[in-house]
Amino acid sequence: MRIAYKSLWYFAFFWILVLCAGTFFQYYDFKHHSAFLEIKEAAVKTGWYLPAFYCHIIASSIILIGGFFQFSKKVYNNRPLHKALGKLYIFGVLFFAAPGAYVMTIFINRGVWVFLSFLIQNTLWIAFTLAGWILVKNGKIDDHIKMMRRSYSLAFAAVTLRFYIWIFTVFGNGVGFANNYIIISFLSWTPNLLLVEWINYRYRKTIFDVTKGIL
């Protein structure tokens, strides 16, 4: 089991680096010549899309890397570092990444189901992040940890979204991309959240079993 966790850890970190590096090299010059922004030409012309887009992708890259190490025991045990990264994560989500994502969602042109998927995901992301911050301020550490797992699972959807786009593009055999994108939009975050709920359940069960043994 330990080998499986380590393999999953490195696999996740590899894709985070791929996404963040790709974002940097594609958009660092702010010249808007990427294929994606060319598709969004009408949205860019409104003047609203680009500021939201750059807020989202820059903040998301930072919080993906910073948030990833929050689950490391070494970082968690280093309280000043853990708190600093936690503040960076919460501030980045609530004031940059999530608001930017809301504006970007308005300009989605892949149908109502894709729109609803990203709208629900982003709303849950804000709710979980805000709840995690309130819980830690109130000293409810166990609940805070569970809530921040949920929050990061939705942040990590940025990675799984690109991963599934690649999978569906390569192996999508005959399925229209519009239909693919409906599947991808939900697939990018719902399995992440379900996995975290399983982890939270296992964590709660372990605590319960230990307590039961003591009593």
Q: How many CB atoms lie within 10 A of CB 90?
A: 19
Domain range for 154 is 2-214
Residue in 103, 134, 125, 109 with CA at minimum distance from that of residue 39: 109
Taking alpha carbons only, the member of 178, 172, 56, 175 closest to residue 115 is 178
Q: Which residues contact 176 (CB under 8 A, 6 or more apart)?
A: none
Mean of the per-residue pLDDT values for the chain? Answer: 86
Which pTM does this prediction carry?
0.87
Structure tokens at 177: 């991309």
What is the tens place of the pLDDT at every residue in 150-162? 999 999 999 999 8
Top mean pLDDT of 7-11, 29-33, 79-83, 200-204 is at 79-83
The two structure tokens encoding residue 29: 């010059």
As for how many domains the chain has, the answer is 1
pLDDT of 210 strictly over 80: no
CA angle 121, 10, 141 (to 5 degrees): 55
pLDDT the model gives residue 105? 95
Residue with tokens 């319960």: 208
Q: Could you tell me what percent of the chain has a pLDDT over 70?
A: 87
pLDDT by residue (tens digit) across 84-117?
999 999 999 999 999 999 999 999 988 899 999 9
Q: Which of 133-142, 168-177, 197-206 has the highest mean pLDDT?
A: 133-142
**What is the mean pLDDT of the segment spanning 16-35?**
77
Q: How confident is the model at residue 4 (pLDDT cuts 50, 70, 90)?
A: low
State the alpha helices, DSSP H only, in the chain.
2-27, 35-39, 41-45, 49-68, 73-77, 79-92, 98-106, 112-137, 141-155, 157-171, 177-187, 190-214
38 compared with 136, residue with greater pLDDT: 136
The DSSP symbol for 94 reads I
Helix/strand/coil for 189:
coil
